[in-house]
Amino acid sequence: MKYFEDIAVGEVWNLGRYEVTAEEIMAFAGKYDPQPFHTDPEAAKQSFFGGLIASGWHTNAMLMRLLADTIRRQELASVGAPGIDRCRWLAPVRPGDTLHARTTVAAARRSRSRPYGLVTCHTEVRNQDDATVCLMEGIGLYACRPEAEDAA
């Protein structure tokens, strides 16, 4: 298990890749963001975007999947998050895109009142052309190493 004490400022986590499909874009948008440029390929062609694009919220959800897989793969002692401080969608995500993301640990501090640390991360999502599609800054909560392990 990788605890708060094992996370270093400046550390970079490569989160992996995610293949985007038209079906997934339309299904997500149909349920959560039903705007024509997300749900209707023909209407999307007539939009400002010139074709079907993923909702920004869908982009965040895909990013969350990559992050959750990384937390599991690296056995990070994640205990949740208090929120996102900043999010920018810089370029449309389209069917057929392959997203890849990386997170850089920008700051870390131990909670004064609870047995966890707060880790500020800057995350960048890029497509297969290396265009940045999303920038996000948020704080994650990570459990501190149990006292029994500190004494060992």
Would you say 6 and 147 are in contact if contact means Cβ atoms under 8 Å apart? Answer: no
Would you say 114 and 86 are in contact if contact means Cβ atoms under 8 Å apart? Answer: no
Average pLDDT for 121-142: 98
Q: What is the pLDDT of residues 52-79, one digit of tens each?
A: 999 999 999 999 999 999 999 999 999 9
- So what's the pLDDT on residue 109? 97
Average pLDDT, the chain: 96
Task: Report how far residue 73's alpha carbon sits from residue 71's, in angstroms, rounded to the nearest whole number.
Answer: 6
Task: Report how far residue 35's alpha carbon sits from residue 104's, in angstroms, rounded to the nearest whole number.
Answer: 33
Domain boundaries defined on the chain? 4-151
- So what's the pLDDT on residue 16? 97
pTM of structure: 0.92
**Which residues are within 8 A (CB) of 66 and not within 5 positions of it... i.e. 6 or more apart?**
15, 16, 17, 18, 99, 101
Q: Does residue 12 have a pLDDT over 90?
A: yes
- So what's the pLDDT on residue 148? 59
Name the residue among 141, 101, 103, 144 with its Cα closest to residue 121.
103
- Give the HSE-up count for residue 12: Cα atoms under 13 Å, Cβ half-sphere: 5
Would you say 60 and 123 are in contact if contact means Cβ atoms under 8 Å apart? Answer: no
- So what's the pLDDT on residue 149? 56
Whole-number percent of the chain with pLDDT over 90: 96
Q: What is the CATH number of domain 4-151?
A: 3.10.129.10
Confidence category of residue 147, pLDDT binned at 50, 70, 90? confident
SS3 147: helix
- So what's the pLDDT on residue 111? 94
